[in-house]
Chains A and B, each alone.
Chain A
Amino acid sequence: MFKRTLLIYCCLLMLFLLAPSIIVIVSSFGADAVTQFPPRSFSLRWYENALSQPIFLQAAKNSAWLAAVATGIATPIALAASVALVRSRFPGRDALQSLLLAPLVVPAIVTGLAILVTLSAFGLRDVTTRLVGAHVVIVLPYLVRTITVSLTQIDSSLEECARTLGARGLTAFWYVTLPLIRPGIVAGMLFSFILSFDNVSASLFLTNVRTNTLPLAMLNYVEFNFDPSLAAISTMVLVFALGGAVLVERVVGLKRVVGG
């Protein structure tokens, strides 16, 4: 009795968790000019419409570029920091560890605003610099966490062995440790890419009319338009994000990235 109640309840709750995604996906195939659920008739015209809108295409390109660059910059920084945190003891280590995780607790909208105010005060109004800076900060703690976990799980004596056998420090790291923690790094990078690609709060004050990110372009669009082209764009973003998530789950398990 209890088991069945629990099962039914959990199925309903999971339906709730999936509801917005299902609604968006199904209504993206609607033919009407106003988003409807369920749609009265089906067509692919809103995909065509969405893909012919330069605002979305340019914003998608910007977001992909930003996510790739932020992840590319943050990964080696996080890797170096994780090695230092896991493999050595020094005074102030705990304080530095807290600093590395600080971007998780500071509201992203505050981080974005702070970067805007500061860079403007120094006369730096370049959109690219401030967006990349903000996104590196946002993704850094997630990368540090996944890489740190991977590093603590491997046997550090393996690298010591290589060194005893005559390998120089960096060589030993490159050929022994790095391959062992590669799954963790890859998962962290994928997650970081998705996180940056989807970010709204940190970018909110940092974009301008010419340089926009996809989530912000979508947010603007949802305020004034109600046609299914947004649903079409959303579905494409969703498929891409879910694909990434499944990949992360396959490689190391999502639980480790999100933590608990």
Chain B
Amino acid sequence: MHHHARFLLLIPAVLVLVCFLVLPLGFLVRHSFYLSELGQSPKGAATLANYAELFGDRFYVLIIFKTIWMSLLITATALLAGYPLAYFLWRSVDRWRGVLMVIVLAPLIVSIVVSAYGWTILLGNTGLVNQLLLGLGLIATPLKLMHTDLAIMIGLTHVVLPFTVLSVFASLERIDPFVREAAQTLGAKDWRVFLHVVLPLSLPGIVSGTTLAFSVSVASYVAPAVLGGSGPNFISTMIYHQLITLMNWPLGSALAAVLMVVALGLVFAYLRFWSLFGGVAFHGRTAEAR
């Protein structure tokens, strides 16, 4: 094949993505501006009625904010909990890296349904956590842990931890070992080396890790559906409820459009913020100059 004709190789991929992603997303958005009978195609003129219903009802607005708020909380937890593990992974000997890597990635490798089921067994009224607390005499009656927001928090933090750990680890690995040694040679104590050299240089990993964690959390379905309380409590479970239980496709489509805007919009704004105000951080080398 000729050199300049190579871009033609992109045609199959573009075709697939246009047919099964771009056009469908356009259709979905269009769908959200129409009304329809149960499970029927939309009819009549375009209307904002679905969005008016969505944003006029406290119930929906609350679920949207709850999804965002909990995802932010989960992302922050995953970053704070995961950073030391990334650091540990970075300082570990090569021989152990493979095993450690598989453990860190376990939540992604194991089906999320399996994980959610594991938490169900662990957090139930007769589960291990309650058995332990009862056995130690810390509580008199079993705590309600399952079907709560706390259970969603635990389940989702577990799912997104690999993203923060691996992203931070990747950026730590890019740090030139001499930079650390230089700081040490010049007499900086360990914690100062960490605070002034390692932490700033790992900022790109922090940004990409939190971005991934937030996008995964905000769009997640299984954890809120299995571990959360009865009734929809995340945007995704609400979409399911509209589609399958109420058969209200247009309202479900409007909710899906909102989820897409929330997921993409917040991530975009976040990355934009970092490139405007922390721009140097993206180029590990120049960060040293600060």
B171 CB, min distance to chain A CBs, angstroms: 7
Residue of B nearest to A170 (CB): B1
A17-B161, A114-B256, A255-B166 known; A84 and B9 CB under 8 Å?
Answer: yes
B47 at interface (Cβ–Cβ under 8 A)? no
Whether the pair B121, A27 counts as a contact (CB closer than 8 A) is yes
In the assembled complex, the CB of B152 is this many whole angstroms from the nearest CB of chain A, namely 14
Q: Are A20 and B10 in contact (CB under 8 A)?
A: no
Contact A84 B28, CB 8 Å, known A13-B85, A17-B103, A258-B108: no
- B122 near A37 with CB under 8 A, answer yes
Residues A222 and B103 in contact in the complex (CB < 8 Å), given A84-B9, A108-B219, A113-B256:
no
Establish whether residues A6 and B13, one from each chain, have CB atoms under 8 Å apart when the complex forms: no
In the complex, identify which listed stretch (A48-56, A94-102, A176-184) lies at the interface while the others stay far away.
A94-102
**Complex partner residue of A37 from B41, B102, B107, B121, CB under 8 angstroms:** B121
Interface size bracket, A side: 35 or more
Instruction: Indicate if A215 sits at the interface (CB-CB under 8 A).
Output: yes
* Residue B75 at the chain A interface, CB threshold 8 Å: no
Judge whether B114 and A234 touch: CB under 8 Å: yes
Please count how many residues in chain B sit with their CB below 8 Å of the partner chain's CB atoms. 92
A44 to chain B: which residues have CB within 8 Å?
Answer: none
Q: Is B81 in contact with A105, judged by CB distance below 8 angstroms?
A: no
Q: What is the distance, in angstroms, from B158's C-beta to the closest C-beta of chain A?
A: 7
Residues of B within 8 A of A36 (CB): 121, 126
Q: Which of A77-111 contact B (CB under 8 A)?
A: 77-78, 80-81, 83-85, 87-88, 90, 93, 96, 99-100, 102-103, 105-111
Q: What residue in chain B is nearest A86 (Cβ atoms)?
A: B6
Query: In angstroms, how far is the closest chain A Cβ from the Cβ of B245?
Result: 13
B23 contacts chain A at the CB level, 8 A cutoff? yes
B128 at the interface (CB under 8 A from A): yes
A115 to B31, CA, bound (A): 12
Question: Could you show 13 A-B contacts with beta carbons less than 8 Å apart?
Answer: A6-B87, A6-B88, A10-B88, A13-B85, A23-B121, A24-B118, A87-B6, A93-B7, A96-B10, A105-B215, A205-B243, A238-B110, A246-B102
List the 8 shortest-distance A-B pairs measured between CB atoms, nearest first. Answer: A20-B118, A260-B170, A107-B219, A114-B24, A81-B13, A88-B6, A84-B9, A80-B9
Known contacts A219-B113, A238-B110; 20 additional CB pairs below 8 A are: A21-B118, A24-B121, A78-B13, A80-B13, A96-B14, A108-B219, A109-B219, A111-B24, A114-B25, A117-B253, A121-B41, A140-B16, A200-B112, A204-B221, A205-B240, A222-B120, A241-B109, A255-B170, A259-B170, A260-B170
Interface residues of A (CB under 8 A from B): 2, 6-7, 9-10, 13-14, 16-24, 27, 35-38, 76-78, 80-81, 83-85, 87-88, 90, 93, 96, 99-100, 102-103, 105-111, 113-115, 117-121, 133-134, 136-137, 140, 144, 169-170, 194, 197-198, 200-201, 204-205, 215, 218-219, 222-223, 230-231, 234, 237-238, 241-242, 244-246, 249, 253-255, 258-260
B residues near A, CB below 8 A? 1-4, 6-10, 12-14, 16-17, 19-25, 27-28, 31, 41, 81-82, 84-85, 87-88, 98, 100-122, 126-128, 158, 161-162, 166-167, 169-171, 190, 205, 208-209, 215, 218-222, 225-226, 236, 239-240, 243-244, 249, 252-253, 256, 259-260, 263-264, 267
